[in-house]
Structure 1
Amino acid sequence: MELMKMGYNVSDELIGTFAPIILYWAYSGIYVMLGSLENYRLHTKKDEDEKNLVPKLDVVKGVLLQQAVQSIVATILFAVTGSDESAQAQQTSLVVLIRQFFVAMMVLDTWQYFMHRYMHHNKFLYKYIHSQHHRLIVPYAYGALYNHPVEGLLLDTIGGALSFLISGMSPRTSIFFFSFATLKTVDDHCGLWLPGNLFHLFFRNNSAYHDIHHQLYGNKYNFSQPFFVMWDRILGTYMPYSLEKRVGGGVEARPTKECKDN
């Protein structure tokens, strides 16, 4: 992609590698600033500071490590697949773009659901790998990619590579897809329920849905991420919830009575 006004030639591959990382921290930063809005928080700021089992500096370090690995894998993937100019020209077709986005979303959701669920049910993987992410009992935006490095590789990096390869998208298209997926993942962990949030309007898989999963009672439910809730519904791991006002301000996602009784 040529940035003519700046006089630079920046490749689609380079933008596709680093744009999601930049957006991750920029979008997370917005939610950090909005975190003082107690009336829209799913947990209090006090709970965020006291209930989580990992210092925020360690979370930042863990996320940066995962993003470094993702950058290396993306660079290798782009180098191996190469750049087909005629294929890129074809991507201007809206129908092709929609198809590739949908296929990539389905592949990523399917991979992450089954890997995520397996990491919860396999005691070894949960204890030594996935439990690291669940040190964030009260999720917040920039903790979205705080995982054990092995989980980051298996769940996110390989899942992203598969969605790229199977969908057949070009590096240019991948810029938009992975940027979108990154924003969605950050939003799911933001810990806020803001009115007018477009992600909440178009996706049932949202910050409240994923917050349920981070609580002890929802540990074996709501595995789906980052887009749809399809696999949870089909395979019986969907935990319905309601949003209720919390005493002292804010809202809380609570499982329905029927689910509690089961």
Structure 2
Amino acid sequence: MTPRSASPDLIALVQAGGPVLWVLCALSVAALALIVGKWLQLASAGVGRFRDVESALSAWRGDSRGRALEILENSREPAAPVIGVAMRGAADSGVDDECVREEVVRQSVGLLTGLRAGLRPLELIAQLSPLLGLLGTVLGMIAAFQQLSTSGSQPDPSVLSGGIWQALLTTAAGLIVAIPALFAHAWLESRIERFRTSLEDAVTRVFTHAATASRVQRDPEGPVAVGERAANAY
């Protein structure tokens, strides 16, 4: 097959599949655009990179709160603003911890919602494509049997076989569209889910360290000294 004949043959193949195959072609283009756009979004946003956040957490655990906040302010990682809110709220004794946690949850939900934008249409394409392919096959089979019934008492088997292979084109096209779309959706969703888990872990480490530090400040001598004082009281 020469390059010149490839394009007309492809168009003829799509035309043989009927209008359902044209719809599947449009869905394949939309799925490809969603996959490429979402991959570029996650790559440009730095999803999966926590180097600056880890550096800020190390400074936070070392009681260098100013240095930790400075690292987060200069960072372009998507988790940095959320961790910064958690650190500022935990460091401010005049702010209720519950309010800080609510604000952290609000910003986290907004961040994750933005990262997941576009995944639902991709999932919908992966689910609808096989069904559309099956619909095209059923319609093609109906048309093939109609032609067979009008051919008289001696039907030509080639009419039926030609109608069947044309009808099966839509099923194959539906699977060709659905399988890569489903794989890409699962891969993108797993990246966002790993990011969500890492974000929750980082926020928890901020609050647990703040709670531990506040207990130490209230009782610098530690729990052992508290036990000794209690024993001496008796």
The structure carrying a bigger strand percent of its residues is 1
Could you tell me the TM-score, scaled by structure 2's length?
0.22
Larger Rg: 2
Could you tell me the TM-score, scaled by structure 1's length?
0.20
